[in-house]
Amino acid sequence: MREDLSVPEILEASLEVIRSGWRCPDLVQVRIEFEGRAYTTPGFTESPWRKAAPLRRGGSEVGRVEVVYPDPPPEREPFLPEEAELLSDIAHRLSQLIELRHERDQLRHLNAVLRAIRNVNQLIVREREVGALIQKACGLLAETRGVASTR
């Protein structure tokens, strides 16, 4: 939940922490997929011996957390029931973090848009010449990146 880290940095840092929670941490590998990017422990390989849990934002799946045994696992049933529950809890917590960061970014953007609107409003009251008004208003809105892309 550190504010100084971006979501990708948090996902990258989570890999070894997740790995350490399994019965055989030296044997399991972890992959987190989020928004088309994969974060993996070194040497990650696909395997049929895996457990996965979805990452969600706004009710939609935006990625997943996956734990795998790359070689035949040491036990016939490689994952304990508690590990499946742990993976679900980890995915839920990461989903909460992703949702909070997304909402924070949206709020920052909306605040910037509101400041731009306020500044244009103040400009309308002060500026008498139409050409200068339009030029200055465009400049103020251009300073607030993404104003045109909000809905």
Residues 119 and 61 placed together within one structural domain of the fold = no
Residues 31 and 92 placed together within one structural domain of the fold = yes
The pLDDT, as a whole number, for residue 66 is 97
Residues 98 and 111 placed together within one structural domain of the fold = no
The pLDDT, as a whole number, for residue 146 is 55
Question: CB of 148 within 8 A of CB of 109?
Answer: no
**What is the domain range of residue 145?**
107-149
Residue 98 inside a domain? The answer is yes
Residues 24 and 78 placed together within one structural domain of the fold = yes
Residues 100 and 111 placed together within one structural domain of the fold = no
Residue 28 inside a domain? The answer is yes
CA dist., res. 20 & res. 107, Å (int): 35
- pLDDT(149) > 50: no
Average pLDDT rounded to a whole number, residues 14-20: 95
Tell me the pLDDT tens digit for each residue of 22-52.
999 999 999 999 999 999 999 999 999 999 9
**Lowest mean pLDDT segment, chosen from 18-27, 28-37, 126-135, 139-148:** 139-148
Q: CB-based contacts of 24: which residues, under 8 Å, 6+ apart?
A: 69, 73, 74
Total count of domains within the chain: 2
Structure confidence at residue 150 as a pLDDT band (50, 70, 90): very low
How much of the chain exceeds pLDDT 70, in percent? 95
Average pLDDT rounded to a whole number, residues 90-117: 90
